Amino acid sequence: MKNFSLIVVLLMCSRLGLAMGSVPVESVTPVERHGSLSVDGNRIVDKSGEAVSLAGVSLFWSNEGWGGNRFYNENTISYLKNDWDATIVRAAIGVDGDGSYLENPKENWENLKTAVDAAIENGIYVIVDWHSHHAEDYPQAAVDFFIKVASEYGEYPNLIYEIYNEPLNTASWEEDVVPYSEHVIAAIRKIDPDNLIVVGSPTWSQDVDVASKNPIIGYENIVYTLHFYAGTHKEGLRKKAEVALENGIALMVTEWGTVEASGDGAVDHESVAEWASFMKTHNLSHCVWAFNDKDEGASILVPNSDPDQESWPDVSLTESGLLVKELIREWRH
Ligand code: MG
């Protein structure tokens, strides 16, 4: 009887708390809320068919010894989820060059695994990005890599594949990027029938208008990435994106920066505001470059930041870091 009374009192308190608005703490994760993502026309929609716009952060190149690999840890992901309200992160797996996946597959896979496992644990989406400018030169390496990714993580709604970060301006959409993409997509789809696959386009993933005139056919849930750096790219690139959307392809901004296309230079606040408005209007999901402490404008952390902290106070953030933290926190979820 005593226990019964206690339960009644507890129930009353909890109802009262709810009525007073003092209780509910957000307990549903972004992935619990939105579930499996899919493409519906030129939109990315969630499990309820509602347009979804995710906002988050890209990690830096995963290459061993480049510095950014130090931030492929659990603390980074939980900090971005809890302190920034990030709903998505991107693991930029460096493909070529010193310390890359092709040279050090074990270390780079460990980086990937740490980031993806932490994203799943935190209930946020995660892009596995084949971070290359020459991916058409070794398609079999990409096939082998994405077979491994799909086998390990294809069952999780969290996972998004990005199969080619940025083809160069010398690449051809029809001759280079489409054959490469079809090859890799076919391999993924044998294992994972449904998760989003993001495709790059020439000119560092700016030629989405070109892609939209001759898109990849025969597969569902294909998305095209649009990359921009606010200090360099302005209305002209937004026009290309509008052409692509009008032609019916779905876009996602898997990488953008507040500074110049070099990754350095001053933060362009006015241009960032214009791009943020554009992304909101079109429900574009986006990841900002980059969670790293390299001494350059696009870095979120100031130089010599400690990768083993549980969180990073605002004094550890650069001008770009402070700006994008606010932008992501205020994004609709
Ligand atoms: Mg799947």
Taking the domains of the chain in order of start, what are their residue ranges? 1-29, 35-330
Would residue 110 show up in a list of annotated catalytic residues for this protein?
no
Task: Fill in the amino acid letter for 88.
Answer: I
Q: Which residue has the tokens 């549903």?
A: 28
Give the pLDDT confidence of 196-212 residue by residue, as tens digits. 999 999 999 999 999 99
Higher pLDDT, 332 or 274: 274
Give the dihedral sign, CA 298/112/105/223: negative
Beta strands (DSSP E) in 188-243 are 197-199, 222-229
Q: Is 248 helix (H, G, I), strand (E, B) or coil?
A: coil
Residue 235 has pLDDT above 80, yes or no: yes
152 is catalytic: no
Strand, coil or helix: what is 39? strand
- Residue showing tokens 């360099």: 232
Closest CA to 160 of 70, 325, 287: 287
Residue 24: which pLDDT band, with cuts at 50, 70 and 90?
low
Mean pLDDT taken over the chain: 94
Reported pTM: 0.92
Which has more confidence, 21 or 273?
273
Helix (H) or strand (E) holding 290: strand 286-291
Residue whose structure tokens are 């550890």: 316
The matching CATH number, chosen from 3.20.20.80, 1.10.3720.10, 3.30.10.20, 3.30.420.40, for 35-330 is 3.20.20.80
- Kindly give the distance from the C-alpha atom of residue 153 to the centroid of ligand 1, in angstroms, as a whole number: 8
pLDDT 10s digits, 147-172: 999 999 999 999 999 999 999 999 99
Q: 188 alpha carbon to ligand 1 midpoint, in Å?
A: 10
Amino acid (1-letter code) at residue 254? T
Asked if the model's pLDDT at residue 21 lies above 90, the reply is: no
Of 64, 136, 162, 166, catalytic? 166
- Candidates 64, 136, 255, 260; catalytic one: 255
Of the chain, the percentage scoring pLDDT greater than 90 comes to 91
